[in-house]
């Protein structure tokens, strides 16, 4: 079981990802860069995500577990 709350807290901030795709048959290289930021959800946003995904009502608003 993974403590999702810990992962979410550790990931808050600004992130950049860079990917390189190699197409050997065409001898081409494609580079892609994405910048994004993560911020904590409000209690209302958390409840909406859980409800929309059929997890029901939030019983403990501080920890979520991924099974």
- What is the extent of the structural domain holding 53? 2-66
3-state secondary structure the chain: CEEHHHHHHHHCEEEEEEEEEEECCCCEEEEEEEEEEECCCCHHHHHHHHHHCCCCCCCCCCCCEEC
Total of domains in the chain: 1
Residue 34 has pLDDT above 60, yes or no: yes
What is the model's pTM? 0.47
Can you give the pLDDT at residue 64? 46
Can you give the pLDDT at residue 26? 94
Mean pLDDT of 46-57: 81
Give the confidence band of 2 by pLDDT, cuts at 50, 70, 90.
Answer: low
């Amino acid at each position: 079981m993974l403590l999702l709350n810990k992962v979410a807290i550790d990931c808050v901030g600004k992130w950049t990802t860079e990917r390189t795709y190699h197409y050997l048959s065409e001898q081409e290289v494609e580079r892609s860069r994405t910048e994004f930021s993560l911020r904590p959800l409000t209690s209302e946003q958390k409840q909406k995500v859980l409800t929309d995904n059929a997890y029901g009502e939030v019983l403990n608003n501080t920890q979520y577990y991924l099974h």
